[in-house]
Structure 1
């Protein structure tokens, strides 16, 4: 008999957590189960799989739903919505909560079994937030503290070890379940014909324009490369990206098509994909690029890249915040690309295998 699973998340904007949860939902549908998305805000950049039930929890005018003064009202509204959904569709066998805002609310509504999925380095996110000031830091810390006493899923072994070694969070249980990937779907999408792909050799970076992604390091490295290739940036905020590129003197080498619902043809035709981040969880783009047959260069940031780039791919990890090392390895991957015939981690990422690991939580 199929399971009814609620997947709660902040929004369906173009981020990695949203993408992997949609892949999980699509796989659950194919296996005969009934996933429902509980989306806090109606902000959607992705194509919704056929048959997936999506419920938007709050109106656009309802802002700061996790703030101290609105939290009690938000929790009550969420409790009522879940009750209504269970009357209409039947009892949920499993609740999966994603991202800070959603975790803060879902951990207060009394549903079970509930698992919170940790997609990123908690320590690095808090460190980054502290630079924005005490108010921003305390807000995020409050969300992280909501994970205390909860059942946690981490998307990489690195994050699991970080939580276990943390003095700030004591989970009820913790285990790693890697992100799901449907490699057949990726290859099919990679072969689609799309307009705008450069007809010259190019590098590619896929990720939102955010401090975590360290476009400044990327642009400094680009300036130092000998290969002199342009780089395609698939990101939302084109204006900020271009302004930053101008600051580092590489605006003439930037190609900015913006966010793409199907990035795979762009990745497939690139000479290499580069990840310049300060921290990650299990960076989806590295796996997708390797699946498309495109080599990668990545910062050895916490967490995930070192679990993905093993064996003959390990040399393509470089120290984070080091544009000189990044530039050197970009030149290396262009002149001597590695064999991608054997990527060890692929066997652990099959979408059906991952879906079954999640379904086991409902037993």
Structure 2
């Protein structure tokens, strides 16, 4: 993909020269939240008057690219490098990245989702952006030990940006990472784009409904959700949005039938734009075993939809603050979750800007600028 011209908004520039030069390095722009939040953060920093460039390692794009954001594909990840992946291959790839960075002279380099390669870079201004909680991803002790060893090997003595306070705490206290420094910085958000997407026409469920938006996979614990919903005794329907492997979808359908919920639980499938559904939901429910900083809860609050969540590692506790903490439940307390659902059904909480101010770009972007 050719590099596009970077033209920071004139109104956002304090003077002729941008305050800093930021480089973001990511494998590709295909996939979920990590790619989306990187593009948004990079473009918002550009709009605030900084020089920003995104380096991708292969040309695979799914997301809408912000106009004016400078993106350069280095082409160092190919079918051949995937097939012959060795430390020597990684070091060759890293040398190509280093050459591009040297030519561009950034003040700050942020690596995301390609750390197996960028760990070979020796730069004083390099940060590794960690967006998930590895300590809660694996139940098998052997897999967990291997994952912890990998994290300690990659990031020991390095600089890390953790997506939440919880991820930082778990890296230090559970994984045992001895980094040079770990800086917790939330992903930045603005409310207006979500409101605009929520206004798009779509066929919504009739009447009130609770909503869960999550991939249909075991870690999201739809079984916990369905049992608690059944125990709550409420009549308000539950809508579940997401897609997964056929066997996981079949298991979910089987459990709905087994619990006698076929008349009250609606399986919506996957929607590219879930925001109209989120905005009109009575409440959003999240029951995962592990998250990093669950975007779906923040996005629900931005749309003034209340939230019920289990207190899984590592983000919900930082999102459900103030009186919203009354709807934060221990993961193994299904009775408490059922009670929270029933209470929300009787008296939904009113969401106000103070509930999500800590995630707004005005609060978050200065923390990136301070790196």
**Alignment-derived partner of residue 283 in structure 1:** 294
Query: Residue 320 of structure 1: CA displacement?
Result: 0.7
1:272 aligns with 2:280: no
SS at match of 2:211: strand
1:70 aligns with 2:86: yes
1:91 aligns with 2:101: no
SS at match of 1:36: strand
2:212 aligned residue (205, 210, 232) = 205
SS at match of 1:146: helix
1:221 aligns with 2:228: yes
C-alpha distance in structure 1 between counterparts of 2:328 and 2:369, whole Å: 34
Query: Residue 51 of structure 1: CA displacement?
Result: 2.2
1:334 aligns with 2:351: no
C-alpha distance in structure 2 between counterparts of 1:246 and 1:316, whole Å: 27
- Change in CA separation of 1:201 and 1:11 when aligned onto 2, cut-off 3 Å: farther
1:38 aligned residue (49, 55, 68) = 55
**Alignment-derived partner of residue 10 in structure 2:** none
- Change in CA separation of 1:86 and 1:33 when aligned onto 2, cut-off 3 Å: same
Query: Residue 73 of structure 1: CA displacement?
Result: 0.7
**Alignment-derived partner of residue 61 in structure 1:** 79
User: Is the 8 Å Cα contact of residues 237 and 258 (structure 1) preserved in structure 2?
Assistant: no
**Alignment-derived partner of residue 132 in structure 2:** 120
Q: Deviations over 1:198-222 (max 9, x none)?
A: 2332222223333332222223333
Query: Residue 308 of structure 1: CA displacement?
Result: 1.6
C-alpha distance in structure 1 between counterparts of 2:42 and 2:313, whole Å: 27
C-alpha distance in structure 2 between counterparts of 1:220 and 1:55, whole Å: 48
Query: Residue 267 of structure 1: CA displacement?
Result: 0.8
User: Is the 8 Å Cα contact of residues 122 and 144 (structure 1) preserved in structure 2?
Assistant: no
**Alignment-derived partner of residue 315 in structure 1:** 326
User: Is the 8 Å Cα contact of residues 103 and 147 (structure 1) preserved in structure 2?
Assistant: no
SS at match of 2:79: coil
Aligned residues: 348
Query: Residue 178 of structure 1: CA displacement?
Result: 1.8
Question: Which of 1 and 2 has higher RCO (CA within 8 Å, sep 6+)?
Answer: 1
Question: Which piece of structure 1 moves more, 234-243 or 18-27?
Answer: 234-243
Question: Which piece of structure 1 moves more, 226-235 or 106-115?
Answer: 226-235
**Alignment-derived partner of residue 65 in structure 2:** 48
> What RMSD over aligned residues (CA atoms) do the two structures have, in Å?
2.8
C-alpha distance in structure 1 between counterparts of 2:276 and 2:335, whole Å: 29
User: Is the 8 Å Cα contact of residues 8 and 98 (structure 1) preserved in structure 2?
Assistant: yes
1:79 aligned residue (88, 95, 106) = 95
**Alignment-derived partner of residue 4 in structure 1:** 21
C-alpha distance in structure 1 between counterparts of 2:211 and 2:245, whole Å: 15
1:263 aligns with 2:253: no
Instruction: Name segments (4+ residues, structure 1) moved above 6 Å.
Output: none
- Change in CA separation of 1:74 and 1:190 when aligned onto 2, cut-off 3 Å: same
Aligned runs of 1:145-156 on 2, under 5 Å? 145-156=153-164
Query: Residue 286 of structure 1: CA displacement?
Result: 1.2
User: Is the 8 Å Cα contact of residues 118 and 153 (structure 1) preserved in structure 2?
Assistant: yes
Question: Which piece of structure 1 moves more, 297-306 or 348-357?
Answer: 348-357
Query: Residue 231 of structure 1: CA displacement?
Result: 3.6
Aligned runs of 1:224-239 on 2, under 5 Å? 224-237=231-244, 239=246
**Alignment-derived partner of residue 23 in structure 1:** 40
Aligned runs of 1:160-179 on 2, under 5 Å? 160-166=168-174, 168-179=176-187
2:363 aligned residue (349, 353, 356) = 353
C-alpha distance in structure 2 between counterparts of 1:163 and 1:143, whole Å: 8
User: Is the 8 Å Cα contact of residues 111 and 126 (structure 2) preserved in structure 1?
Assistant: yes
**Alignment-derived partner of residue 9 in structure 2:** none
- Change in CA separation of 1:74 and 1:274 when aligned onto 2, cut-off 3 Å: same
Give the alignment's TM-score, normalised by structure 2: 0.83
- Change in CA separation of 1:168 and 1:327 when aligned onto 2, cut-off 3 Å: same
Query: Which of 1 and 2 has greater Rg?
Result: 2
C-alpha distance in structure 2 between counterparts of 1:298 and 1:42, whole Å: 37
SS at match of 1:38: strand
Query: Residue 44 of structure 1: CA displacement?
Result: 4.2
